[in-house]
């Protein structure tokens, strides 16, 4: 059976540092506004890029508004969070949030030296939605062709990245076009907008979706609250 078109959105909500409850409400509002099957959020979107933020568990009750929004809309939300494993190791992660709850879908592989609180994830990952395989990446992962190559080996159709760029040096567009050219896949990147921790007083925003030929088909501006949306066709 041929896959149906997939509506995907990339969102850059206004984030309150450390305030998971408030940020979950903002994420929920973005999910409702996006009217998409999949909504992608930036790196560490549930806490802001605060590297000392406490870890979040997948069953954290503060995620309730986001879970509820996904239940009402039939959306898969891919949100950024610090998490830990059973051995107590901390990771920068992507949570897959649906109407039935949340789970850790991916742990960042290429952790920056400034993120030394966090361990490196050990493998690429994909999530499947309506027959589409979404390969997951977080920020610095996109700088390493071996990362998207390993993810492509899992059969990805879309490379989905949660990122944070300085406004004066946005790396994501060039990296997205390179991945599209090298792997022949769609690329969707949600980029933090506004200001956050870690020295990112002015983040780039500019979340976007690129077709397999590297052409941007939907782009958000630089301000918090923007959403870009596109329909991906097999």
The CATH H-level superfamily of 6-232 is Carbon-nitrogen hydrolase (3.60.110.10)
Would the pLDDT of 175 be above 70? yes
Q: Classify residue 162 by burial, with Cβ atoms within 10 Å: 0-12, 13-18, 19+.
A: buried
Name the pLDDT band for 169 (thresholds 50, 70, 90).
Answer: confident
Number of neighbours of residue 88 by Cβ within 10 angstroms: 8
Name the pLDDT band for 125 (thresholds 50, 70, 90).
Answer: very high
User: pLDDT digit string (tens) for 80-108?
Assistant: 999 999 888 999 999 999 999 999 999 99
What is the mean predicted confidence (pLDDT) over 14-39? 98
Would the pLDDT of 234 be above 90? no
Name the pLDDT band for 3 (thresholds 50, 70, 90).
Answer: confident
Name the pLDDT band for 198 (thresholds 50, 70, 90).
Answer: confident
pLDDT of residue 199: 84
Greater confidence (2 vs 115) lies with 115
* Contact between residue 93 and residue 107 where contact means Cβ atoms under 8 Å apart: yes
Euclidean distance between CA atoms 66 and 24, whole angstroms: 6
Report how far apart, in Å, the C-alpha atoms of 66 and of each of 6, 23, 48, 179 are: 21, 9, 16, 30
pLDDT of residue 7: 98
Does an H or E element contain 31, and which?
A: helix 20-34
What is the mean predicted confidence (pLDDT) over 104-115? 97
Would the pLDDT of 178 be above 80? yes
Report how far apart, in Å, the C-alpha atoms of 26 and of each of 62, 143, 148 are: 12, 29, 30
- For residue 15, which of 184, 200, 186 has the smallest C-alpha distance? 200
Would the pLDDT of 149 be above 90? yes
What is the mean predicted confidence (pLDDT) over 122-142? 97
Largest CA distance in the chain: 48
Please provide the average confidence, as pLDDT, over all residues in the chain: 96
Q: Is 216 helix (H, G, I), strand (E, B) or coil?
A: strand
Q: Is 166 helix (H, G, I), strand (E, B) or coil?
A: strand
Q: What values do phi and psi take at 113, rounded to 5?
A: -60, -25
- For residue 24, which of 95, 106, 122, 129 has the smallest C-alpha distance? 95
Name the pLDDT band for 197 (thresholds 50, 70, 90).
Answer: confident
Q: Regarding beta strands 132-138 and 158-163, do their DSSP bridges make them parallel or antiparallel, or are they unpaired?
A: parallel
Would the pLDDT of 1 be above 60? no
With a pLDDT cut of 70, the percent of the chain lying above it is 99
């Amino acid at each position: 059976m041929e896959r149906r078109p997939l509506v995907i959105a990339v969102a850059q909500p206004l984030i309150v540092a450390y305030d998971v409850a408030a940020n979950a409400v903002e994420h929920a509002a973005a999910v409702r506004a996006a009217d998409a099957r999949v909504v992608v959020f930036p790196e560490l979107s549930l806490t802001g890029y605060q590297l000392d933020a406490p870890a979040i568990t997948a069953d954290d009750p503060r995620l309730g508004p986001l879970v509820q929004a996904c239940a009402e809309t039939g959306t898969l939300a891919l949100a950024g969070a610090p998490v830990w494993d059973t051995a107590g190791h901390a990771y920068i992660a992507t949570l897959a949030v649906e109407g039935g709850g949340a789970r850790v879908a991916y742990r960042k592989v290429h952790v920056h030296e400034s993120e030394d609180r966090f361990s490196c994830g050990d493998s690429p990952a994909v999530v499947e939605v309506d027959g589409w395989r979404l390969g997951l990446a977080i920020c610095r992962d996109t700088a390493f062709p071996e990362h998207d190559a390993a993810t492509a080996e899992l059969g990805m159709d879309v490379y989905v990245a949660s990122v944070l760029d300085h406004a004066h040096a946005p790396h994501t567009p060039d990296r997205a076009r390179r991945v599209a050219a090298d792997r022949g896949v769609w690329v969707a990147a949600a980029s933090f907008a506004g200001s956050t921790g870690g020295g990112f007083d002015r983040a780039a925003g500019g979340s976007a979706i690129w077709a397999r030929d590297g052409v941007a088909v939907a782009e958000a501006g630089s301000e918090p609250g923007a959403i870009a949306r596109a329909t991906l066709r097999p």
